[in-house]
């Protein structure tokens, strides 16, 4: 088991190098000179521009810039963004906010998706099942920003139940509405995934055996149906955590959440290479780690799964 | 009913007590604003994250600019109409337009207690200009003698020879050449004084700037990407005294979110109504809106380095393009009145503006004359019918697509040529091609005045070799006319000369003026006394609670 985990951690190294290299290259090849853009419509002061290029290593060729960036990572100094602040500080500000948002969305889609999916699966073909299926289809079909603006306007502006944008502290109550919007799409998938899985398992031999043994309905559902149905759902949720964190850009924009997406969007527009790469790298690492966690959870859910070491 | 003497006296005491508590910061509904209103209200306004540390000479964009403007005071500030009023200056005198003697008021201090003397100004300006300090707005000092030496690439000179301290309250400025409108520029944020600590550690200072303006940054007031909190500076005694208990700029990534906040009273004032709300905002907000022209305009620059657009044929073609655009229609249909059709190259709020400069007819829609001009140009040099005329714009912000498409259609319909909009995905990409002079067609260009002067709309954009001369326009007659204007002995003579210079531009049309910018903002029902300045920025210091 521990060798398995160690192996997985070692695999992170090439993933990390590959991701940083690729993203750095993409930002590097974005058209336009970020230093020229700093001057806006104003004439470019050549001396000032040269000084700034030197400061941000923009006068170096691509490989040199990339190596300097790698060096900065290993010395735990990620460099500075254009407003002169350490990128590490910036990461420390934005990631907790987005992590909070993504975890809240994950809890929302996980809890509601599994519960609704389970009920729908157990009552296949009944009214509840049909309603939930149609509702989830609608949610999947409508783009997330439409849902976002709709909920913001109805719940935030007209009904006044929540603030239309997030306050400066981005507290948990503030984030409820954005988290629901962020999680809605995945909620529908989780629901459908659970439902299908439950329906399959209901016809399985071991479920029939368990019922024949005289186990209560509750025990059959909990131990034999639900637990076995969760494997594909957990895989989806694990992969979704990374996707939620990176994909929060739209939701963060609508509700003005001061998180990763907002900062990343601004960094891409202004061409702040090191900021973009640092944020994306952390996102990649989170994605890899949440996948590792999912793989470990398989063993707990289904003891037949063994890890090769 | 009659009052006895004693009850009257008691009544007076009670009224006085009420008035006193009202003036205190108790949050009661009465106050002492100029037009009434609650002075104990903290105003929630929209802002954007400053691009650079909050150093005055390093800030050239709106997000940081409006904060700097509020926490610093310079020699002069501009009143709502754009007229300079003395702030720290006692007097600014210059007879020949080249040598100025500046006297500053006594006993002026930064909020950290440091005194502001003539030396403070000279040191601050020298710092801003010197290349080694890499300040983005360093170019604003370019007229001062010795700027070239200090600002050259790799230069170690860190003072300008044109600045001399005479005594604690006086310093003199020598310019490279006479520029009669130079004192007008002194209200721009690059010219404010900064404390000595700022020069030693600009980066640290930029995080927690200490100024001398009507407001100061609250303790830990700049929460990056979230908000910037300003509180009134009690020691400030200039013309922009705060009439509220502070201004908090909430940072927004997009105006739409800010507008939703305004609708639900979570935001007190929104500087610019987003394009998506232009149709509804008047019914949403009632009379809590403003529609006021400010010193900015929009043009289409057509580079003269493109062969089809050079020489006499090029000039005729540019006139044809200009007369083929129906500005009235676009400002009404696309902008719902949020723009005003242009009648010159400057802006109507400026001193000296005229809407009847000879040649302004070239900016009027006239399909017949446009076709004639195009035909005349074709007689000189045939336009290849397969060629497409492009109008480039940045698609990342500003909402330019709609009007560019409208102009494209009008040109197609009137002139019968191929026209296309050419979106650049980001502003920086568009600027890159414009500054490198590698454009393949025209490009939209907007100009916001830095200081209220006609020259600011002409010199920096159309003079030969000027830094923002995207069109690569070069005309010695125009250059001469502009410098005549700068050499004029009085502002009004100068303005006349500037409008003479505009006659040349209206004929040559290096860029095609489209419309003037109009500030369209709105506010919540919790605030009152809202007005906008000449630059389209709300006068935050004047806003009070209801």
- Confidence band (pLDDT; 50, 70, 90) for B35? low
What's the angle, vertex CA B377, arms to CA B375 and CA B381, rounded to 5?
Answer: 115
Residues 172-231 of B with CB under 8 A from A: 203, 206-207, 223-227
Q: Does the pLDDT value for residue B3 go beyond 60?
A: no
Contact A32 B431 (CB under 8 A): yes
pLDDT at res. A116: 94
Better-predicted residue by pLDDT, B212 or B274: B212
Residues in chain A within 8 Å Cβ distance of B138: 45, 48
Start and end residues for every CATH 1.10.3720.10 domain found in chain A: 88-305
CA distance B213 to B315: 48
- What value does the mean pLDDT take over residues B160-164? 95
Would the CB atoms of A43 and B254 count as touching at under 8 Å? Answer: no
pLDDT score, position B420: 94
Tell me, what's the pLDDT at B12? 41
Q: Do B151 and A266 touch (CB under 8 A)?
A: no
pLDDT of A58 reads: 84
- Kindly state the average pLDDT of the residues A271-294: 85
Q: Which residues of B touch A48 (CB under 8 A)?
A: 131, 134-136, 138, 151
- Taking an 8 Å cut-off on Cβ atoms, the answer to whether A45 and B139 are in contact is yes
Closest alpha carbon to A149 in B259, B49, B396, B265: B259
Looking at residues B449-474, what average pLDDT do you find?
Answer: 88
- Residues in B touching A258 (Cβ below 8 Å): 225-226, 251
Report the C-alpha gap between A201 and A231 in whole angstroms. Answer: 12
Contact at CB, A47 and B131, closer than 8 angstroms: yes
CB neighbours of residue A5 within 10 Å: 14
Give the tens place of pLDDT for each residue, A233-268: 988 888 888 888 877 888 998 898 988 988 888 888
pLDDT computed for residue B89 by the predictor: 95
In the predicted model, what is the mean pLDDT of residues B283-288?
92
The pLDDT of residue A180 is 92
Mean pLDDT estimate for chain B = 88
How do residues B74-132 score in pLDDT, each as one tens digit? 999 999 888 899 999 999 998 888 899 999 999 999 999 999 999 999 999 999 999 88
Extract the tokens encoding B515: 């419309």
Whole-number percent of chain B with pLDDT over 70: 94
The lowest-confidence range among A136-145, B13-22, B242-251 is: B13-22
| Separation of alpha carbons A26 and B76, rounded Å | 46
CB contact under 8 A, B258 and A165: yes
Query: Which pLDDT band holds residue B363 (cuts at 50, 70, 90)?
Result: very high
Residue in B152, B254, B427 nearest the CB of A47: B152
Contact A262 B253 (CB under 8 A): yes
Residue B191 has φ and ψ, to the nearest 5°, of -95, 5
Write phi, then psi, for B101 (nearest 5 degrees).
Answer: -115, 120
What is this structure's pTM?
A: 0.83
Kindly determine whether residue B261 and residue A163, on different chains, have CB atoms separated by under 8 Å.
yes
A45/B contact by beta carbon, under 8 A: yes
Look at residue B155 and tell me whether its pLDDT is greater than 90: no
- Minimal Cβ distance to B225: which of A157, A163, A263: A263
Taking alpha carbons only, the member of A6, A3, A8 closest to residue A295 is: A8
Identify which has the larger pLDDT, B27 or A41: A41
B59–A contact, CB cutoff 8 A? no
Residue numbers of B between 393 and 422 with CB closer than 8 Å to A:
396
Total Cβ atoms within 10 A of residue B8: 11
Percent of chain B with pLDDT over 90: 63
Q: Does the CB of B468 have a partner CB in chain A at under 8 Å?
A: yes
Picking from B49, B251, B266, the nearest residue to A164 by CB comes out as B266
A148-201: per-residue pLDDT in tens? 889 898 888 888 888 888 877 778 888 999 999 999 989 999 999 999 999 998
- Per residue in B169-201, pLDDT (tens digit) is 999 999 998 888 889 899 999 999 999 999 999
The residue-averaged pLDDT of B526-533 equals 94
More confident residue, B469 or B245: B245
Residue A205 clears pLDDT 60, i.e. is over it: yes
Residues B344 and B513: beta-carbon distance below 8 Å: yes
Does B14 contact A at CB distance below 8 Å? no
pLDDT at residue number A290: 84
CATH says A88-305 is which class?
A: mainly alpha
**Beta-carbon separation of A165 and B61 below 8 A:** no
pLDDT band for position A307 (cuts 50, 70, 90):
low
- Work out the minimum CA distance from B51 to partner chain A, whole angstroms: 5
Which pLDDT belongs to residue A287?
A: 85
Rounded CA separation B216/B236 (Å): 10
The string of pLDDT tens digits covering residues A50-93 is 888 888 888 888 888 888 888 888 887 888 888 878 888 888 98
3-state secondary structure chain A: CHHHHHHHHHHHHHHHHHHHHHHHHHHHCCCCCHHHHHCCCCCCCHHHHHHHHHHCCCCCCHHHHHHHHHHHHHCCCCCECCCCCEHHHHHHHHHHHHHHHHHHHHHHHHHHHHHHHHHHHHCCCCHHHHHHHHHHHHHHHCCHHHHHHHHHHHHHHHCCCCCCCCCCCCCHHHHHHHHHHHHHHHHHHHHHHHHHHHHHHHCCHHHHHHHHCCCCHHHHHHHHHHHHHHHHHHHHHHHHHHHHHHCCHHHHHHHCCCCHHHHHHHHHHHCCHHHHHHHHHHHHHHHHHHHHHHHHHHHHHCCCCCCCC
Cβ contact B131–A90 (<8 Å): no
Closest chain B C-alpha to A302 CA, distance in angstroms = 45
DSSP state of B131: G
* A264 neighbourhood in chain B, CB within 8 Å: none
Q: Which residues pair with B445 in a beta bridge?
A: B299
B14, pLDDT greater than 60 = no
Q: Is B301 helix (H, G, I), strand (E, B) or coil?
A: strand
Q: Which residue, among A189, A181, A190, has the nearest Cα to A261 in the 3D structure?
A: A181
What integer pLDDT is reported at residue B368 of this predicted model?
94
Cβ A27 vs Cβ A271: under 8 Å: yes
A 129-168 → B contacts, CB under 8 A:
149, 152-153, 156-157, 160, 163-165, 168
* pLDDT tens digits, one per residue of B387-416: 999 999 988 777 788 899 999 999 999 999
A117 pLDDT more than 60: yes
Is it the case that residue B443 has pLDDT exceeding 90? yes
Closest CB to A48: pick one of B134, B447, B448: B134
Nearest-CA distance B251 → chain A (Å): 8
Task: Work out the average pLDDT over A212-240.
Answer: 87
B-contacting residues in A 181-220 (Cβ below 8 Å): none
């Amino acid at each position: 088991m521990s060798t398995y985990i160690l192996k997985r951690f070692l695999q992170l190294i090439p993933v990390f190098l590959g991701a940083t290299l690729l993203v750095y290259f993409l930002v590097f090849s974005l058209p336009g000179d970020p230093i020229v853009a700093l001057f806006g419509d104003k004439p470019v002061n050549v001396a000032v521009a040269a000084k700034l290029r030197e400061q941000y290593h923009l006068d170096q060729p691509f490989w040199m810039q990339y190596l300097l960036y790698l060096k900065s990572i290993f010395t735990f100094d990620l460099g500075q963004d254009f407003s002169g602040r350490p990128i590490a500080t910036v990461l420390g500000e934005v990631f907790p906010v987005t992590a909070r948002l993504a975890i809240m969305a994950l809890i929302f889609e996980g809890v509601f998706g599994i519960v609704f999916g389970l009920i729908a699966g157990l009552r296949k073909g009944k009214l509840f099942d049909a309603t939930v299926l149609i509702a989830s289809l609608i949610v999947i079909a409508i783009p997330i920003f439409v849902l976002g603006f709709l909920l913001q306007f109805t719940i935030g502006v007209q009904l006044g139940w929540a603030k239309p944008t997030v306050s400066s502290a981005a507290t948990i109550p503030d984030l409820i509405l954005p988290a629901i919007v962020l999680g809605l799409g995945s909620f529908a998938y989780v629901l459908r995934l659970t439902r299908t899985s439950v329906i399959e398992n209901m016809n399985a031999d071991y479920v029939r055996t368990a019922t024949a043994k005289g186990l209560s309905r509750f025990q059959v559902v909990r131990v034999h149906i639900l637990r076995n149905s969760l494997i594909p759902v957990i895989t989806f949720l694990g992969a979704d955590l990374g996707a939620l964190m990176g994909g929060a850009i739209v939701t963060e924009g609508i509700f003005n959440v001061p998180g990763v997406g907002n900062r990343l969007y601004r960094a891409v527009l202004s061409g702040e290479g090191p900021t973009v790469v640092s944020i994306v790298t952390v996102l990649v690492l989170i994605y890899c780690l949440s996948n590792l966690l999912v793989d470990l959870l398989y063993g707990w859910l289904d003891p037949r799964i063994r890890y090769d070491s | 009913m009659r009052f006895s003497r004693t009850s009257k006296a008691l009544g007076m005491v009670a009224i006085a007590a009420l008035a006193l508590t009202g003036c205190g910061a108790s949050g009661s509904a009465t106050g002492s604003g100029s037009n009434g209103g609650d002075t104990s209200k903290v105003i929630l306004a929209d802002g954007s994250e400053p691009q650079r540390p909050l150093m005055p000479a390093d800030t050239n964009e709106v997000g940081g600019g409006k904060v700097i403007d509020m926490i610093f005071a310079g020699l002069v500030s501009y009143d709502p109409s754009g007229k300079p009023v003395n702030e720290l200056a006692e007097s600014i005198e210059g007879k020949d337009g080249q040598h100025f003697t500046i006297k500053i008021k006594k006993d002026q201090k930064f909020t950290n207690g440091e005194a502001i003397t003539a030396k403070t100004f000279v040191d601050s300006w020298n710092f801003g200009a010197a290349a080694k300090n890499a300040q983005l707005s360093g170019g604003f000092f370019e007229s001062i003698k010795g700027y070239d030496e200090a600002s050259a690439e790799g230069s170690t000179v860190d003072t300008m020879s044109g600045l001399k301290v005479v005594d604690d309250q006086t310093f003199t400025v020598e310019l490279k050449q006479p520029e009669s409108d130079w004192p007008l520029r002194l209200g721009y944020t690059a010219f404010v004084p900064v404390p000595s600590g700022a020069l030693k550690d600009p980066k640290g200072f930029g995080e927690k700037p200490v100024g001398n303006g009507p407001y100061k940054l609250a303790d830990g007031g700049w929460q990056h990407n979230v908000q910037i909190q300003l509180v009134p500076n009690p020691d400030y005694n200039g013309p922009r005294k705060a009439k509220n208990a502070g201004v908090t700029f909430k940072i927004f990534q997009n105006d739409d979110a800010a507008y939703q906040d305004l609708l639900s009273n979570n935001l007190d004032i929104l500087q610019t109504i987003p394009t998506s709300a232009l149709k509804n905002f008047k019914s949403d907000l009632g009379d809590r809106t403003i529609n006021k022209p400010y010193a900015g305009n929009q043009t289409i620059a057509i580079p003269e380095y493109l062969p089809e657009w050079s020489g006499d044929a090029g000039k005729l073609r540019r006139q044809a393009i200009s007369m083929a655009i129906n500005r009235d229609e676009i400002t009404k249909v696309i902008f719902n009145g949020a723009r005003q059709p242009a009648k010159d190259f400057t802006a109507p709020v400026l001193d000296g503006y005229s809407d009847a400069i000879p040649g302004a007819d070239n900016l009027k829609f006239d399909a017949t004359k446009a076709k004639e001009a195009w035909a005349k140009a074709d007689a000189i040099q045939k336009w290849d019918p397969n060629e497409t005329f492009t109008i480039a714009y940045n698609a990342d912000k500003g909402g330019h697509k709609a009007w560019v498409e409208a102009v494209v259609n009008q040109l197609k319909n009137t002139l019968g040529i191929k026209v296309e909009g050419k979106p650049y995905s980001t502003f920086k990409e568009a600027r890159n091609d414009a500054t490198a002079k590698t454009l393949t067609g025209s490009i939209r260009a907007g100009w916001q005045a830095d200081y209220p002067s006609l020259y600011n709309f002409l010199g920096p954009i159309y003079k030969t070799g000027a830094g923002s001369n995207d069109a690569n326009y070069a005309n010695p007659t125009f250059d001469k006319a502009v410098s005549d204007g700068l050499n004029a002995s009085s502002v009004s003579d100068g303005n006349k000369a500037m409008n003479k210079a505009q006659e040349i531009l209206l004929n040559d049309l290096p860029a095609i003026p489209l419309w003037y910018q109009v500030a369209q903002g709105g506010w919540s029902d919790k605030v009152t006394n809202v007005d906008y300045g000449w630059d389209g920025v709300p006068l935050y210091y004047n806003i009070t609670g209801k």
